[in-house]
A and B are shown apart, each in its own frame.
Chain A
């Protein structure tokens, strides 16, 4: 089929930015701004300075709403085949400004209403402090100023489209990183504290967290320069590295592995105890995420009770190693306990897997969720208290010994955790690229055809469950050793959901994606503990956003990207075409 006709015929006029769309997104922006105020985000975020005297995270968030809607409103619709590309110009800015102004107007109206009337018995976050913040503590005048800034912010959002791609990226990323650096003061100050390079820290940050003006300018400038300079070059370098063959390729892989290992070896020493603690936790989640990636990402089985396997690992460790476990207390070391943990996990995987083998995909989600809850309630129950300690949990889980070393603090725990991370990442790659991995993939694509082509569905599903369970159980065991105790509350459904978020944001089926996703989404909230109440709101929003806009994740696997995007459309087009050619209806 050739579509060369488009080249010869006249192009249709470009589809321009729609102003009525700007009104619609402006309304959404207004609602978002109202939500930011009413949910208490504004007040909580206002306590955190980004650029010390002038800009708090609260106002950044508030202004991000009109900026985002301005950006969306000012973006031209995608260019379809046969249409001319729209020119950029005043119309983009205009649309952005309309959206921003509308957001500002709604905000202003709402701010005035809550300033006059008292809703605090219903919306408990509408405190006096919030009221001060929404008016800049200047009454109606302050509201007006903020609304105007919002309109401008929307216009700026629209104006971003006037920039050439390279500039656009550089500008957006430098703004993003200024905010990130403002937020992550703790990260820099911890490293600076450990390494005694506090001069840099003092230059960048004020006394009260948050960047100084100079700091903001320096970071913004550096990031801008980096993105502007590196644009395209990084990609070219990666492509060159990927294209290496034979001997060279092997050498390249060895060198990068060596660099990575040295980097990991010194990392906790540089970061110090607090940041290592954060990385340890992220590592434990990463172990689970790698396991769930096999179950969901490779085999396509949505398991929502995944935390149960994590709990099995933790409790098995506790029983086997702790001297005070209630009924039976063999006091093994971590290493001798590992084979038993693996066995217990495999048994749990088979137990959960077997009844659900013949079920359709979405039933599986609910049943596994049920299993997860059953496990948690049983661990918590009085009935099994003699074995698992009930609500009091199990204590005194010993440290891990490796030869002469004792793993007992956050810095040393980094090593076993990340050793397992590397092992599991290797296992994921090895399995993906094998007969078993192909069977999983085929099953994910079309279960009944996979079976007709010889794949033993029962075995494939059970293996996925068992391997996933083992990964999570090892994670649970390390977690138990690290904390030194096990409590049923650590194994709530929220953990399962969190792990699911990690692999979806990173990219289902993609090991690097899952890794980055886990590190970012576990470590960041740990560093921003003061905003913990908004963590799950953020996760929920992120899930919806990813599914609507980027279901393949930020760092997708090659395959998954194809699967979840255009190709369904492409395939349907093929089928339609086939049906046209052969009008005989299906039997």
Chain B
């Protein structure tokens, strides 16, 4: 029977139909984007100033995504698992931050002592989301370490809904609105860009946090432990690293970053309700993949790119294609970006870091 298939086979270089189809998608995507862009830019529908505004808005939106994306990236880097509930960690900080800000606003301190109050609210936000993230890890994820991959993933989906509806139950389903900060009204001019002050704060704060985190991961003992655990848990444990503690730190740091994101969200977009975390959560994950999951700088790059795609994309591409109501399709642009990235370059713009890909 071993000799049954002995005929010499023709030497063929087969073009797989799947690859062909993917190439087709790639080409179509590039053509569509180019045609849309050319049409929009030549139509002069938006002035240069309006384009710049959109860009700035995209960057500030993207900074928030980037901060949330850090939580996904860190956890994925270390545990190879998507913490689906991370969007809710972010939402929890915005929600609790609202109550702190609201209380301060009622007491009049919000605008009398803006710097102090903002600082207090920032701390509240960070503490909340860190606490939520660490609790999640302890209660829901730690007992599942080493189970088949789908199990923790499904758990995190459950946790996501649990948190959403817990917040809905405790604080109601209505939308709450952060108080405005007077000193952050108006805008600054910068190199010909007009930047709304809150947006400037968002961008600067996000950049600062990223830099801090980068130093933390690259330069400190704990950061080194994190990288070691990401590389190989067992070996790290043998080298005397407390793996459990390190994983708690990873969740904690990711949570703290989501807390900053929640704080900035409150300043920039004001409104919050129990479902606020869902879309930014998915988009932040998209950003993490876009930049290269497990890669801290990648989260920043991915977040800001996604923010720009999402703000500029509809006007730049869809409008040029004559799509009606293109502004409704912001989210479609974001998700399409995700699909395209995974088709074009699954390891993201900057590639995966923290540890090598394990299939």
A contacting B, Cβ–Cβ less than 8 Å: yes
Q: A38 contacts which chain B residues (CB < 8 A)? A: 169-170
Q: Do residues A359 and B324 form an inter-chain contact, with CB atoms below 8 A?
A: no
Is B179 located at the chain interface by the 8 A CB criterion?
no
Which parts of B258-300 form the interface with A (CB within 8 Å)? 278, 282, 285-286, 289
Q: Do residues B148 and A536 form an inter-chain contact, with CB atoms below 8 A?
A: no
Q: Is the interface of A mostly helix, strand, loop or mixed?
A: helix
Which residue on A lies nearest to B169, using beta carbons? A39
For B144, B169, B171, B338, which residue has the most chain A Cβ atoms within 10 angstroms? Answer: B169
Contact of B154 (CB < 8 Å), options: A122, A370, A493, A543? A543
Cα distance A375–B233 in the bound complex, in angstroms: 40
Q: A354 contacts which chain B residues (CB < 8 A)? A: 18, 21-22
Q: Do residues A383 and B325 form an inter-chain contact, with CB atoms below 8 A?
A: yes
Is A541 located at the chain interface by the 8 A CB criterion?
yes
Given contacts A354-B21, A540-B158, are A363 and B147 in contact (CB under 8 A)? no
Contact of A122 (CB < 8 Å), options: B99, B328, B338? B99
Q: A448 contacts which chain B residues (CB < 8 A)? A: 359
What interface size band does chain A fall in?
35 or more
Q: B143 contacts which chain A residues (CB < 8 A)? A: 548
Q: Do residues A370 and B162 form an inter-chain contact, with CB atoms below 8 A?
A: no
Given contacts A125-B172, A374-B335, A534-B169, are A551 and B151 in contact (CB under 8 A)? yes
Is A518 located at the chain interface by the 8 A CB criterion?
no
Q: B154 contacts which chain A residues (CB < 8 A)? A: 302, 500, 504, 543, 547
Given contacts A122-B171, A544-B140, are A366 and B155 in contact (CB under 8 A)? no
Q: Do residues A367 and B157 form an inter-chain contact, with CB atoms below 8 A?
A: no
Is B186 located at the chain interface by the 8 A CB criterion?
no
Chain A 504-536 per-residue mask, 1 if CB under 8 angstroms from chain B, else 0: 100000000000000000000000000001101
Of the listed stretches B220-228, B249-257, B339-347, chain A binds: B339-347
Cα distance A458–B20 in the bound complex, in angstroms: 13
Q: Do residues A381 and B155 form an inter-chain contact, with CB atoms below 8 A?
A: no
Given contacts A374-B336, A377-B329, A385-B324, are A357 and B18 in contact (CB under 8 A)? yes
Q: Do residues A370 and B359 form an inter-chain contact, with CB atoms below 8 A?
A: no
Is B51 located at the chain interface by the 8 A CB criterion?
no
Is A35 located at the chain interface by the 8 A CB criterion?
yes
Cα distance A370–B164 in the bound complex, in angstroms: 19
Is A371 located at the chain interface by the 8 A CB criterion?
yes
Q: Do residues B329 and A355 form an inter-chain contact, with CB atoms below 8 A?
A: no
Is A327 located at the chain interface by the 8 A CB criterion?
no
B81 vs chain A, min Cβ distance (A): 7
Is B50 located at the chain interface by the 8 A CB criterion?
no
Is B35 located at the chain interface by the 8 A CB criterion?
no
Q: B153 contacts which chain A residues (CB < 8 A)? A: 302, 361-362, 365
A370 vs chain B, min Cβ distance (A): 4
A157 vs chain B, min Cβ distance (A): 21
Cα distance A531–B265 in the bound complex, in angstroms: 32
Is A426 located at the chain interface by the 8 A CB criterion?
no
Is A41 located at the chain interface by the 8 A CB criterion?
yes
Q: Do residues A540 and B339 form an inter-chain contact, with CB atoms below 8 A?
A: no
Q: A358 contacts which chain B residues (CB < 8 A)? A: 346
Q: Do residues A547 and B144 form an inter-chain contact, with CB atoms below 8 A?
A: yes
Is A177 located at the chain interface by the 8 A CB criterion?
no
Is B166 located at the chain interface by the 8 A CB criterion?
yes
Is B245 located at the chain interface by the 8 A CB criterion?
no
Chain A 358-393 per-residue mask, 1 if CB under 8 angstroms from chain B, else 0: 111111011101110110011011110100000000
Given contacts A125-B170, A383-B325, A448-B359, are A367 and B147 in contact (CB under 8 A)? no
B273 vs chain A, min Cβ distance (A): 12
Q: B162 contacts which chain A residues (CB < 8 A)? A: 537, 540-541, 543-544
Cα distance A419–B84 in the bound complex, in angstroms: 37
Which residue on B lies nearest to A370, using beta carbons? B335
Q: A374 contacts which chain B residues (CB < 8 A)? A: 331-332, 335-336
Q: B346 contacts which chain A residues (CB < 8 A)? A: 358-359, 363
B208 vs chain A, min Cβ distance (A): 29
Cα distance A536–B274 in the bound complex, in angstroms: 12
Given contacts A541-B162, A547-B144, are A123 and B342 in contact (CB under 8 A)? no
A311 vs chain B, min Cβ distance (A): 15
Cα distance A543–B87 in the bound complex, in angstroms: 18
Given contacts A373-B335, A381-B328, are A300 and B285 in contact (CB under 8 A)? no
Is A90 located at the chain interface by the 8 A CB criterion?
no
Is B25 located at the chain interface by the 8 A CB criterion?
yes
Is A495 located at the chain interface by the 8 A CB criterion?
no
Given contacts A122-B171, A363-B289, are A548 and B148 in contact (CB under 8 A)? no
Is A539 located at the chain interface by the 8 A CB criterion?
yes
Q: Do residues B165 and A534 form an inter-chain contact, with CB atoms below 8 A?
A: yes
Cα distance A294–B151 in the bound complex, in angstroms: 17
Is B323 located at the chain interface by the 8 A CB criterion?
yes
Q: A385 contacts which chain B residues (CB < 8 A)? A: 324-325
Which residue on B lies nearest to A36, using beta carbons? B169
A377 vs chain B, min Cβ distance (A): 5
Given contacts A122-B99, A362-B149, are A367 and B171 in contact (CB under 8 A)? no
Is B121 located at the chain interface by the 8 A CB criterion?
no
Q: Do residues B82 and A362 form an inter-chain contact, with CB atoms below 8 A?
A: yes
Chain B 156-187 per-residue mask, 1 if CB under 8 angstroms from chain A, else 0: 01111111111011111110000000000000
A221 vs chain B, min Cβ distance (A): 36
Q: Do residues A125 and B169 form an inter-chain contact, with CB atoms below 8 A?
A: yes
Q: B158 contacts which chain A residues (CB < 8 A)? A: 539-544, 546-547
Q: A35 contacts which chain B residues (CB < 8 A)? A: 166, 169-170
Q: A383 contacts which chain B residues (CB < 8 A)? A: 318, 323-326, 328-329
Q: A371 contacts which chain B residues (CB < 8 A)? A: 335, 339
Is A401 located at the chain interface by the 8 A CB criterion?
no
Contact of B150 (CB < 8 Å), options: A39, A361, A366, A536? A361
Q: Do residues B169 and A537 form an inter-chain contact, with CB atoms below 8 A?
A: yes
Cα distance A199–B225 in the bound complex, in angstroms: 72
Cα distance A97–B308 in the bound complex, in angstroms: 59
Chain A 335-365 per-residue mask, 1 if CB under 8 angstroms from chain B, else 0: 0000000000000000000111111111101
Q: Do residues A370 and B286 form an inter-chain contact, with CB atoms below 8 A?
A: yes
Q: B25 contacts which chain A residues (CB < 8 A)? A: 355
Cα distance A353–B151 in the bound complex, in angstroms: 22
Q: Do residues A540 and B342 form an inter-chain contact, with CB atoms below 8 A?
A: no
Cα distance A534–B173 in the bound complex, in angstroms: 12
Cα distance A363–B352 in the bound complex, in angstroms: 14
Is B44 located at the chain interface by the 8 A CB criterion?
no
Q: Do residues A551 and B165 form an inter-chain contact, with CB atoms below 8 A?
A: no
Is A202 located at the chain interface by the 8 A CB criterion?
no
Q: Do residues A123 and B140 form an inter-chain contact, with CB atoms below 8 A?
A: no
B66 vs chain A, min Cβ distance (A): 17
A542 vs chain B, min Cβ distance (A): 7
Q: A548 contacts which chain B residues (CB < 8 A)? A: 140, 143-144, 155
- With A366-B282, A377-B329 known, 13 other A-B pairs at CB within 8 A are A39-B170, A41-B169, A122-B99, A358-B346, A366-B289, A377-B332, A536-B161, A540-B165, A543-B158, A543-B161, A547-B155, A547-B158, A568-B148
The 7 closest A-B pairs by CB, nearest first: A543-B158, A382-B325, A39-B169, A540-B161, A540-B162, A370-B335, A537-B165
